[in-house]
Structure 1
Amino acid sequence: MKNIFTYSTAFVLGLALVATPEADAQQFSKRKQYNSVGFSLNAMNYFGDVVPVTNFTSFRLGATRVGAGVSITRRFYPRLSGRFGLSYGRISGDDSKAADPNDPDARFRYNRNFTFRNDILEASAVAIFDLVENRNNYLKRPDFVPYVFAGVAGFYHNPKGLVGDNAPASLVKGSYVALADLKTEGQASAYGQTQFAIPFGGGIRYRINRNFDASLEIGWRKTFFDYLDDVGGKYAPVASLSTDAQRYFGNGITRSQTGDFTSFTAPTSQRGDKGNKTDWYIVTGVTLNYILTPRIKNPKFR
């Protein structure tokens, strides 16, 4: 997982550095630079603790949710552009659907019985490197252009847990409860709802006509955080959970604490992955870009 992130990011940044020498800057004049605005329809998923298998490649297709975004892109050089974007989407997970109760390992996650959703609002700035260059203006851009990208992002998230069976009367079955402030694992303080991520990925862009492009893109968000799903460590002592919501989501939501699951939620028992793994989310989207026609000043003749 670390190698995927390190090599992909280094590759994109390396290409960006070698693709913008001074000669290119001189040849690609401001007359050829242009801006575009885009609207995206996205599908979001995540890698974390509430998935079929607790590794980087595991996600449940049925947990995919729809999102949307807007962006503005500036083409600076024949291969290099910069893009600023805002997007909104939702990730989700459900132990009862992701974990196999007959699997020797997954059955423990099934017994955990946790269901969540998390709405994510992201702002990002990325560098885009085209694998096919265009030294001309936007009118002569190629029909198909594969590209890669990498950058930085900040996001606000708000994980919520689903109230299921055997909940206290103060909680409404079928409702979702915000979890960040509950400190369900007995944390000394609530985790931050504003976090940073490294977006990277690739796509292909298609020229529709003079002013419109369409693109298909997939991008990973490497976070530095393990609570996109509110699951990241060990169970807290029940005595440290003071409210009905804390006790339910931190302990009472579990299916069983007998037989093979005796002391399942005992203090210091593992609730999430071992090894302080961080959560990721992934965005796959289709974008329609409109190129803003550059204003070209005609030379003055005397």
Structure 2
Amino acid sequence: MKQIVTYTLALVLALPLVATEASAQQFSKRKQYNSVGLTINAMNYFGDITPKPSVPSLRFGATRLNVGASFTHRFTPRISARAALAYGTITGDDSKAADPNDPDAKYRYNRNMSFRNNLAELSVVGIFDLIPNRNTYVKRPDLVPYVFGGIAGYTGNPQGNRNGSWVDLQPLKTEGVSYDKAGIAIPFGGGVRYKVNKSFDVGLEVGFRKTFNDYLDDVSTVYVDQSTLSSDAAKYFGGGNALSNTGEFANFNAPGSQRGKSDEDDWYVTTGITVNYILAPRVKSPKFR
């Protein structure tokens, strides 16, 4: 799976290099145009608090809303660049995601962790259309599949629920380490865009975000000695709110015992609909003397 992801990222991130097509196609300024868009997405995450702690395991019941706005500029018949702002929530719950009868999931079921994280993202991506538009925006193709890749910055705030109240987890250092709530992600994916009329497109898009952070859910490595945690809240979340503390699970949260799976960084994914409005380019009239 890692090799597939690596090859996919390499391919998608190389697409902007095809920008040399601009000179070959002599795509005139008159045919370039801008558009603005609004997006409504379903948002999920891949991490330690999912049915399987790996990509692409997710629980559809944990799906939450993501909304965004974007600005796109078309440079060539196939290539555009898009800047976008988005905001959404990821969430997970061991009691609903982990199967207590699965030997590989018992430690997660007894960990009984749940979280939410509200993520704000700024991204810039290159878009490569599989069907070119060599004409003006008015005569663009009716249906265009595309792929995209780029870079994004995000910030969030993982929280856990205790007695009905949401508590910020990052300051608690539940695993005895500090981590950043913000970071860099690699967005990539694909979609299809449909021409509704001269000015509007509607699209369906799936986008993956590869982060370099294993703490979007505040879970990564092992349990630490409870005496080293600084507060009752840190001990509550860092020690595991156990569903069972008898039998073979009596020492499930002993210092050094597995709490997360540290060899996989967290991901998040959006799937949704985008409505784009094309800003008609100004056509300068020739001047006569």
Instruction: Decide: shared fold, TM above 0.5.
Output: yes
Give runs of aligned pairs for residues 1-302 of structure 1, distance below 5 A: 1-18=1-18, 20-21=20-21, 23-24=23-24, 27-163=26-162, 173-187=163-177, 190-274=178-262, 276-302=263-289
In structure 2, the partner of 1:168 is: none
Cα distance between partner residues in 2 of 1:255 and 1:14:
48
SS in 2 for 1:255: coil
Deviation at 1:128, TM superposition (A): 0.1
Deviation at 1:256, TM superposition (A): 2.9
Q: Residues 36-66 of structure 1: CA distance to partner in whole angstroms, max 9, x if unpaired?
A: 0000001100110001112212100000001
Q: Does structure 2 retain, via aligned residues, the 8 Å contact 1:20–1:80?
A: no
Deviating runs (4+, > 4 A) in structure 1? Answer: none
How far apart, in 1, do the equivalents of 2:69 and 2:15 lie? 26
Distance 1:105 1:12, change over 3 A: closer
Deviation for aligned residue 1:23: 3.2
Identity of aligned residues (%): 60
Structure 1 residues 253, 293: CA separation in 2 closer, same or farther (over 3 Å shift)?
Answer: same
Matched residue SS, 1:81: strand
Assess, with a 3 A threshold, how the Cα gap between structure 1 residues 298 and 208 changes in structure 2: closer, same or farther.
same
1:243-285: CA deviations, max 9, x gaps? 11001001151223331112111111110015x3101000112
Preserved contact between residue 5 and residue 222 of structure 1 (Cα < 8 Å): no
The gaps in structure 2 that reach 5 residues or longer are none
CA contact (8 A) 2:22 2:76 kept: no
Q: Is the 8 A contact 2:35 2:72 kept in 1?
A: yes
8 Å CA contact retained: 1:12, 1:150: yes
Q: Render the CA deviation track for 1:207-257: whole Å, top value 9, x for unaligned.
A: 011100011000100000100100001101011012110010011512233
Aligned partner of 2:196: which letter? Answer: I
RMSD: 1.3
Letter paired with 1:233: T
| TM-superposition CA deviations, 1:147-166 (whole Å, max 9, x none) | 00000000001110111xxx
Q: How does the TM-score come out when normalised to structure 2?
A: 0.96
Question: Could you report, residue by residue, the CA deviation over 1:167-200 in whole angstroms, capped at 9, with x for unpaired residues?
Answer: xxxxxx111111011100111xx21111100000
Could you tell me how far apart the structure 2 residues matched to 1:91 and 1:212 are?
30
Stretch of structure 1 that moved more, 246-255 or 8-17: 8-17
Q: Distance in 2 between matches of 1:5 and 1:88?
A: 25
| Secondary structure of the corresponding residue to residue 133 of structure 1 | coil
- Which residue identity lines up with residue 215 of structure 2 in the other structure? Y
Choose 8-17 or 241-250, whichever is displaced more. 8-17
Would you say how many aligned residue pairs link Structure 1 and Structure 2?
A: 289
Unaligned runs of 5+ in 1: 164-172
